[in-house]
Structure 1
Amino acid sequence: MFLIDQQTLSDLNAIERSDNGLWNFFDHTVTVEGRYTVYRYFLNPLKSIEEIRNRQEAIIYLAEADVDFPFDKFMMDDLERYLSLPNEPYSENYFSYYLEKLSANMFSLSNKRIRQTIRRSVCEIAMLIRYLSELLESAVRQGRPVGVLNQFREDVLRLTEGLDVDELKKISIEDIPLTLLIKYDYKFRNLKKNQVKSIFAILYELDALRGISISFIQRQMIFPTFHHENEPDMMLQIEGLYNLFIDNPIKNDIAIRREKNIWFLTGANMTGKSTLLKTVGTCVYLAHLGFPVPASRMNTQFFDGLLTTINLADDIIAGHSHFFSEVLRIKKIANTLSEKQRMVIILDEAFKGTNYNDAYQATLTLIEHFENMKSSIFFISSHITELSSAIDKDRVELSYLKTETNDESNIKFTYQLVSGVAEEKLGMWLLQREKIFETLKSIGTRGN
């Protein structure tokens, strides 16, 4: 099972309802339960390549079929309430149920409202069963891979066993005779209540998958391909990688081979290191959800999990400094690596909570230990460019995000990934550009 934890979900903005949250981005659902189905997808990455492909195929089919649902939030809320009406007295058969309804004067004028609710609900459930059956049957008849829709079709056939197709058609499009209304109210709320709830669950799944397909189309995303670990030595390859939440984003390529499974990214602040690492993590994560990814092409092996350290906060309540929080995080990563071999680990500005010498030595030692773990991928960023001279270049890929300067000493951030080590030191440049020292000098002069 693909492992992901709360820190990683937070780093990737996975389940936030904000403008830059992944859940919000993929949520084009029309029902409340459809929305929370997408949420559950984010908390439960898939367990195998086969499960991933099955979800991918269903999303692709729904995208191309341009499915238009005959239900919305309000209809499904009403139907859920209908199923939750006060429990009916137990009836051994439909005839005794019918007699109980008559004896209770259920169909008198005084019970007009609940009678209308029952009539409308029975009609709508019959319509939804017909719609779902026809949609899934049509998908399977296409003769193309439709993934999890195959299983949905089998489930619907099983759940609707014993229901009369002609009667369902009649009550979904015509005024229902009294006897038929009581019969199907008895079936839907008594005999087959659990089956009806299961049919609703399939509708919510379709709502969730269709919502994902809308994002897939609108942003021209792609579905990654997966290979088994013992096939090529290319562990992860992403072409045209871009961030979903940046207008006119710069696209980059990532390629991680087994012999160089450690990726060391250098550069000053503001060059885009954190954004790039978050985008890589997002692609790996979405791929293992069976979702489309923001890239033009992606090929990857199936990993056991993803752990990131991008926006690690101090733990004030526990009394932990930032550095001690980093230490605990690295400890968790180490423990995980002892149990799971095929991990993706992303460390942004490792050990920034301590002094330069400690950060230098700790990062170098960490990389040296990672060199012995050839089944996982390690992304490490640092502004300590001096580390590059001590790193084993045969095992570590060196990259940075390019900046450009002109004669006026202005700097342009290209956000373009290139091989090598960053040369720029932008701290003093930024302080001078903002004229901070000049301001402080003028204050000191006035004080004298």
Structure 2
Amino acid sequence: MAFIADKQTLEDLNLLGKFKPHSIYNLFNKVHTTGGERLLDAMFAQPLTDPEAINARSSIFQYFQQQAFTFPLPTSVFRTAENYLSMGTGTNFPAVFAATFRKKAGAALVHDEQFAALKAGVVAALHILQSLRRFADALRVPEGSAYSNEAASLKTLLADRRLESVWGMGDHAALSFMQLVKYDLLLRHTLRDAVEKILERVYHLDVYIAVSGVAKDRLFSYARALPKTQHRVSTTALRHPALANAVANALSLSAECNLLFLTGANMAGKSTFMKSFGIAIYLAHMGFPVAAENMEFSVRDGLFSSINVPDNLSLGYSHFYAEVLRVKAVAQAVSEGKDLVVIFDELFKGTNVKDAYDATLAVTAAFAAYRNCCFIISTHIIEVGEPLKQQAAGVQFAFLPTVMDGPVPRYPYTLQAGITNDRHGMMIIGNERILEMM
């Protein structure tokens, strides 16, 4: 079953987008090949829901991080080879000979560049194959490790006897015309299926090396996936992966205590903490490294967030009505029995305080009853906390504090147990001297 994460969630957490500033995708997009980028796209689009598959992929990244591999192929040469191999050629020697001869004649008569491009492609492909074989020969993969099958597959493909003449090649640039015809037929026709499989292995290598390199540079770790039935997630140090010097916080949710009710002043870090949690959940289901330590999680069916819910002028939706529709969509998924992670940042902030109080209390208590799901719900309406303690079991209360240095607020971003009583809005307005300006 596919992992559920809708457009709103993906945008709230800034997960996808090659051209979006500071997206989590861009954080990991250090690949060298177009095929590697396509594979990275697919991994981000399709998180896993099988704990064995998640842990297997995670262990491959860990292996590559331990080995500290760098991408073994020159990027520009690989792109030349990749472009060349993506095009078709003749299906027999006479056809390839005739086509190559026409290209050579065109180069001599009218300075046509097709022959030079063909030769450059063959030379690049031969160079890549030789470099890749040296890399594969040097691989020492422990028996039974998650990468052992892929490593064995790569070595088997490169051990094809029809490639034997490639390994003894010296100066690729000195290829004769007949050698050029021979290798063009070999690479783009005779061994086309095998070469495509070799390229797929290269794309996987590219992603493994890129992602593990990011994990090493940023001191990320690897989460351990647990069976769905355990209904828990825990980490000793969770932080936002895109922030330098981010403050880490511990978090633990389980079937017995499945909802975190979070309070704190504006700028105290509630939204960042919630985004950190959502991003970690998503990346963990991909088998990717996370900005957390000692993280364990039961696989979920999906992830929903409600952080930056926009109004919809074309449909006539107010901000509050858009919030209500978002809660309705999540409630529908929860009531269908799906095992979900749900994040709500400041429920019902688009309506008056009385309605927001009543709605926040009722909805939070109702969600808490679904022990197969875990929730983080934040609010400014701290008065909800005490009656919620009476109405709902399985709720833990935490806040992000504000420390006052005289009239100036300071935010340590460290999660504390309880419900805040911070009310510093008017003090901040005073510090900015707004009323004096008016």
TM over 0.5: yes
- Aligned partner of 1:14 in structure 2 is 15
Alignment of 1:176-325 (within 5 A): 176-231=175-230, 235-325=232-322
- Match for residue 335 of structure 1 among 300, 322, 332: 332
- What is the rounded CA distance, in whole Å, between the counterparts of 2:221 and 2:325 in structure 1? 36
- What is the rounded CA distance, in whole Å, between the counterparts of 1:237 and 1:202 in structure 2? 34
Deviation at 1:248, TM superposition (A): 2.1
What SS does the corresponding residue of 1:391 show, helix, strand or coil?
A: helix
- Aligned partner of 2:348 in structure 1 is 351
- Aligned partner of 1:82 in structure 2 is 84
Cα distance per residue 1:4-50 (max 9 Å; x no partner): 11111111111244452211111212233433432332111123122
- What is the rounded CA distance, in whole Å, between the counterparts of 2:435 and 2:100 in structure 1? 90
What SS does the corresponding residue of 1:247 show, helix, strand or coil?
A: coil
Deviation at 1:417, TM superposition (A): 0.3
- Aligned partner of 2:53 in structure 1 is 51
Deviation at 1:144, TM superposition (A): 5.4
Aligned pair in 2 of structure 1 residues 50, 426: CA closer, same or farther (>3 Å)?
same
- Aligned partner of 1:435 in structure 2 is 433
- What is the rounded CA distance, in whole Å, between the counterparts of 2:26 and 2:399 in structure 1? 31
- Aligned partner of 1:418 in structure 2 is 416
- What is the rounded CA distance, in whole Å, between the counterparts of 1:418 and 1:136 in structure 2? 50
Paired letter, 1:121: G
Q: Contact conserved, 1:57 with 1:145, CA < 8 A, in 2?
A: no
- What is the rounded CA distance, in whole Å, between the counterparts of 1:37 and 1:319 in structure 2? 40
- What is the rounded CA distance, in whole Å, between the counterparts of 2:384 and 2:226 in structure 1? 33
What SS does the corresponding residue of 1:390 show, helix, strand or coil?
A: helix
Deviation at 1:103, TM superposition (A): 6.7
Q: Contact conserved, 2:221 with 2:291, CA < 8 A, in 1?
A: yes
What SS does the corresponding residue of 2:388 show, helix, strand or coil?
A: coil
- Aligned: 1:129 with 2:129: yes
- What is the rounded CA distance, in whole Å, between the counterparts of 1:69 and 1:304 in structure 2? 34
- Aligned partner of 1:443 in structure 2 is none
Aligned pair in 2 of structure 1 residues 173, 342: CA closer, same or farther (>3 Å)?
farther
Paired letter, 1:185: D
Deviation at 1:280, TM superposition (A): 0.7
Alignment of 1:391-410 (within 5 A): 391-392=388-389, 394-406=393-405, 408-410=406-408
Paired letter, 1:305: G
What SS does the corresponding residue of 1:186 show, helix, strand or coil?
A: helix
What SS does the corresponding residue of 1:414 show, helix, strand or coil?
A: coil
What SS does the corresponding residue of 1:307 show, helix, strand or coil?
A: strand
Paired letter, 1:413: Y
TM-score normalised to structure 2 length: 0.89
Aligned pair in 2 of structure 1 residues 72, 328: CA closer, same or farther (>3 Å)?
farther
- What is the rounded CA distance, in whole Å, between the counterparts of 1:358 and 1:172 in structure 2? 79
What SS does the corresponding residue of 2:292 show, helix, strand or coil?
A: coil
Aligned pair in 2 of structure 1 residues 149, 309: CA closer, same or farther (>3 Å)?
farther
Gaps of 5+ in 2: none
Cα distance per residue 1:316-363 (max 9 Å; x no partner): 222211111112211221222244521100000011111112211111
Paired letter, 2:297: T
Deviation at 1:194, TM superposition (A): 4.5
Q: Contact conserved, 1:124 with 1:172, CA < 8 A, in 2?
A: no
Aligned pair in 2 of structure 1 residues 173, 70: CA closer, same or farther (>3 Å)?
farther
Cα distance per residue 1:266-304 (max 9 Å; x no partner): 122111110100001111111011111112221111111
- What is the rounded CA distance, in whole Å, between the counterparts of 1:377 and 1:316 in structure 2? 32
- What is the rounded CA distance, in whole Å, between the counterparts of 2:61 and 2:26 in structure 1? 17
Give the count of matched residue pairs: 431
Deviation at 1:63, TM superposition (A): 2.1
Q: Contact conserved, 1:261 with 1:396, CA < 8 A, in 2?
A: yes
- What is the rounded CA distance, in whole Å, between the counterparts of 2:26 and 2:408 in structure 1? 37
- Aligned partner of 1:143 in structure 2 is 142
Q: Contact conserved, 1:236 with 1:300, CA < 8 A, in 2?
A: yes
Deviates more, 1:100-109 or 1:391-400: 100-109
Aligned pair in 2 of structure 1 residues 105, 307: CA closer, same or farther (>3 Å)?
closer
- What is the rounded CA distance, in whole Å, between the counterparts of 1:248 and 1:356 in structure 2? 36
Q: Contact conserved, 1:63 with 1:213, CA < 8 A, in 2?
A: yes
Aligned pair in 2 of structure 1 residues 98, 420: CA closer, same or farther (>3 Å)?
closer
Aligned pair in 2 of structure 1 residues 180, 170: CA closer, same or farther (>3 Å)?
farther
Paired letter, 2:78: M
Aligned pair in 2 of structure 1 residues 275, 119: CA closer, same or farther (>3 Å)?
same
Deviation at 1:200, TM superposition (A): 2.3
Aligned pair in 2 of structure 1 residues 173, 328: CA closer, same or farther (>3 Å)?
farther
What SS does the corresponding residue of 2:338 show, helix, strand or coil?
A: coil
